[in-house]
Chains A and B, each alone.
Chain A
Amino acid sequence: MPAVQETVDQVRLIDVDQYKYGFVTDVESEKAPKGLSEDTVRFISAKKNEPAWMLEWRLEAYRRWLTMREPNWARVEYPKIDYQDLYYYSAPKRNALASLDEVDPEILKTYEKLGIPLREQEMLAGVVRQDSEGNNLGERRVAVDAVFDSVSVATTFKEELKKAGVIFMPISEALREHPELVKKYLGTVVPVTDNYFATLNSAVFSDGSFVYVPPGVRCPMELSTYFRINEANTGQFERTLIIADKGAYVSYLEGCTAPMRDENQLHAAVVELVALEDAEIKYSTVQNWYPGDANGKGGIFNFVTKRGDCRGDRAKISWTQVETGSAITWKYPSCILRGDDSRGEFYSIAISNGRQQVDSGTKMIHLGKNTTSRIISKGIAAGRSNNTYRGLVSAHRKAKGARNFTNCDSLLIGDKCGAHTVPYIEAKNSSAVFEHEATTSKISDDMLFYCRQRGMSAEEATALVVNGFVKDVLQQLPMEFAVEAQKLISISLEGSVG
């Protein structure tokens, strides 16, 4: 009975299987004892064979953290987090991998399920893909660093990158192989004392990616990291540090998934970007952490500090994010426009459904002369979710001729969700020009009816309209990820209408 089967499939799609990455991988892991103390910090540092200065750095952060308070100014509500009830370190058992073949096959299978090609040969084969209008998207060549729970399990294309002089490796490895580079830049964009969650991260981060692109080098491929939280009650604290030296260019992508669990899992990452003179960094995120079930049970608490520093003249940093997951999102990727004529960009799509709460936005801090920034934010709220854009644009006294353009659009689906826009604008010199545009709209029934009359289901119609709404931002994503993001948007909105 095909009709019956179809109905069954449909129901499953809408209800239970909405989050298709919610499986658990059965792999043995090694954990630090539960709870947070100086001993935990020492344990992590020792596991990583870190130099003494790194341990000191961590301990200083830990002691500082003890004196700090969890921030509560964001428009999010969540039960109190018991920091002593978490594991701060979890690593799949098995050490020092020489090649992909040594990676636990269970983990490789996990990444396969996620559709992440880790196998270099597969990538080298270069499957030609097409977009919806039949144009070839070209070969997909992306170097991947995969982080499973707290540990980086595989990095692809290392050799080829090495030839170009690009360093792309787990930060734990970089601490051993390039300590001078790490020491020079770590914590210079997001200081140890920056905020509660960043300080916590500084104390206990276990891995993440490190990228260094030498002067004048254009990184020959997209770099990518996939983060996956697997273990229960585990916090994931990754630390990413990307440096583009003078005149260098790099594009970096980040993807995130987690299994479905009833308890909330904590994710507190720190990302630091440094762009020197004439350098450009493009950082894209497709965040799809488990959002919790329809009643708001479970899901990832995502408290992330991301900041880029345009340290040299004419440097450029661009953040693009597609945020569809997490129970709580607290995230403000920012740019410090220090160099003269430097440029910061922030393109964001934040989708909330069910009981998700998103408080996200950006900060553009204009310090140098003739610095420019651009913010395009598209918030989509469905179900009983709350979606807040919070942004700061500021021009300091010396930032003559600073310019910003902000466009903030919100789209509401249904009548039980909320969209909020909280822009802060500060100009301390009279030559700054800041523009702010904002709209809030609802998907109209007439628009949906028009699509449905043409044969689309309510959900297909909603996804189509939403994809149109977010098009300006999708265009900023590297092409193969735009396709993925588009699919993700449809999945996130399933069950939001009808």
Chain B
Amino acid sequence: MALLEIKKLHVEIDGKKILNGLDLTIEKGKVHAIMGPNGSGKSTLAYVLAGKADYKVTSGEVLFNGENVLAMQPDERAAKGIFLAFQYPMEIPGVATMTFLRTALNAQRKHRGEVELSTPDFMKRVRETAAKLSIDTEMLRRAVNVGFSGGEKKRNEILQMSMLEPRLAVLDETDSGLDIDALKIVSEGVNRLRSPERSMIVITHYQRLLDYIVPDVVHVLSKGRVVKTGGKELALELEAKGYAEFADEAA
């Protein structure tokens, strides 16, 4: 059974149709890249998978491990193993990054009926994981994303992902706003998490990110549907030709 199955998904926001019968199947352990022009529905797909309230699913199905995701609350989905690395991570004043991480981790464990992680175990894990992402422990004491640079925010997303160990990670334009050094650190962080047990959806506008995170499958999204699927070479083709041809195809 595939890890994720999206069947004929139609989604609108404020009465405007964004996804128009999107189909997508992702097997366990695979990394899928989703590319497409602005407005093609890439971020909408990410938010719908995570369960953001503003998006209205008018028809279609999303199955995660055979379970109906659309009936679940966002926190239930998180506990089942769906993680979204936000394009614009939120700032939470006054809440230390460390506290945030710990609250999230223990909330998920509680959901799954596991015991909370002890303080020393948690500290050990967070320090080790942060070090691998070149995150200073000082940053962990600062309020979540408050005053963080673009690169720090994205590294913080990957840190959370590393700590929460999801089964499906959705990375929404994680490369936006990153310089080349930050891009490398973030990509390495993501690559370390690749495993036969974990699938990923990498949403990006540019091929550049896919030089570092090499996908198994590439999809092109246009006007709310997958219009082309191929291997990693499809990304290079897009880089050369642009999205113009797909805009026509979908029309």
Chain A contacts to B: CB under 8 angstroms:
2, 130, 132-134, 444-447, 449-458, 460, 464-465, 467-472
Contacts and interface: CB of A to CB of B under 8 A. Distances in A.
Contact of B160 (A449, A454, A464, A465): A454
A457 B108 CA distance: 9
B60 to A, nearest CB: 21
Interface stretch (B14-22, B85-93, B192-200, B217-225): B85-93
Interface stretch (B32-40, B63-71, B99-107, B180-188): B99-107
Contact of B95 (A452, A453, A464): A464
A11 to B, nearest CB: 16
B74 interface: yes
Given A132-B99, A133-B98, A452 B92 contact: no
Contacts of A2: 113
Question: Interface size class for chain B?
Answer: 35 or more
A470 B94 CA distance: 8
- Nearest first, the 10 closest Cβ-Cβ pairs linking A and B are A468-B94, A454-B104, A455-B108, A468-B95, A471-B94, A450-B90, A134-B119, A455-B78, A452-B74, A455-B107
Given A132-B102, A450-B92, 12 more contacts: A133-B99, A447-B92, A449-B52, A449-B74, A450-B89, A451-B100, A452-B51, A454-B164, A455-B105, A455-B164, A458-B75, A464-B95
26 contacts: A132-B102, A132-B119, A134-B120, A134-B122, A450-B89, A452-B74, A453-B51, A453-B74, A453-B77, A453-B84, A453-B86, A454-B104, A454-B108, A455-B75, A455-B78, A455-B79, A455-B104, A455-B105, A457-B107, A460-B103, A465-B95, A468-B93, A468-B94, A468-B143, A470-B94, A471-B94
A454 B162 CA distance: 12
Interface of A is mostly: helix
Nearest to B101: A454
Contacts of B120: 134
Interface string B121-150: 011000000000000000000010000000
Nearest to B96: A133
Given A134-B119, A452-B73, A469 B78 contact: no
Nearest to A461: B75
Contacts of B79: 455
A275 B236 CA distance: 76
Given A132-B102, A449-B53, A455-B107, A467 B123 contact: no
Contacts of A471: 94-95
B78 A464 contact: no
A467 B164 contact: no
Contacts of B108: 454-455
The B interface is mostly helix, strand or loop, or mixed, namely: helix
Interface of B: 50-54, 73-75, 77-79, 83-84, 86, 89-90, 92-96, 98-100, 102-105, 107-108, 111, 113, 119-120, 122-123, 143, 160, 164
Most chain B beta-carbon neighbours within 10 Å: one of A444, A454, A458? A454
A4 to B, nearest CB: 14
B75 A452 contact: yes
Nearest to A444: B90
Contacts of B123: 133-134
Given A455-B104, A455-B108, A456-B103, A469 B94 contact: yes
Nearest to A469: B94
B249 to A, nearest CB: 33
A458 B98 CA distance: 20
Contacts of B78: 452-455
Contacts of B119: 130, 132-134
Contacts of A451: 92, 100, 104
Contacts of A460: 103, 107
B92 A445 contact: no
A446 B90 CA distance: 7
Given A453-B84, A455-B104, A460-B103, A465 B92 contact: yes
Nearest to B122: A134
A465 B99 CA distance: 11
A465 B93 CA distance: 8
A445 B47 CA distance: 13
A325 B143 CA distance: 29
A2 B114 CA distance: 13
Contacts of B93: 468-469
B129 to A, nearest CB: 15
B94 A467 contact: yes
B125 to A, nearest CB: 12
B105 to A, nearest CB: 8
B86 to A, nearest CB: 7
Contacts of A134: 119-120, 122-123
A493 to B, nearest CB: 15
A25 to B, nearest CB: 33
Nearest to B50: A453
A485 B90 CA distance: 26
Contacts of A465: 92, 95
Contacts of A449: 50, 52-53, 74
Contacts of B107: 454-457, 460
Nearest to B86: A450
Contacts of B86: 450, 453
B114 to A, nearest CB: 12
Which of A447, A455, A465, A467 counts the most B-chain CB atoms under 10 A from its CB? Answer: A455
A471 B99 CA distance: 12
Contacts of B73: 452, 457-458
A472 B99 contact: no
Given A130-B119, A464-B103, A469-B93, A456 B75 contact: yes
A446 B91 CA distance: 10
Contacts of A444: 90
A384 B119 CA distance: 38
Contacts of B113: 2
B243 to A, nearest CB: 28
Contacts of A457: 73, 75, 107
Contacts of B90: 444, 446-447, 450
Contacts of B103: 456, 460, 464
A451 B51 CA distance: 12
Contacts of B92: 447, 450-451, 464-465, 468
A449 B49 CA distance: 13
Contacts of B98: 132-133
B52 A455 contact: no
Contacts of A464: 92, 95, 99-100, 103
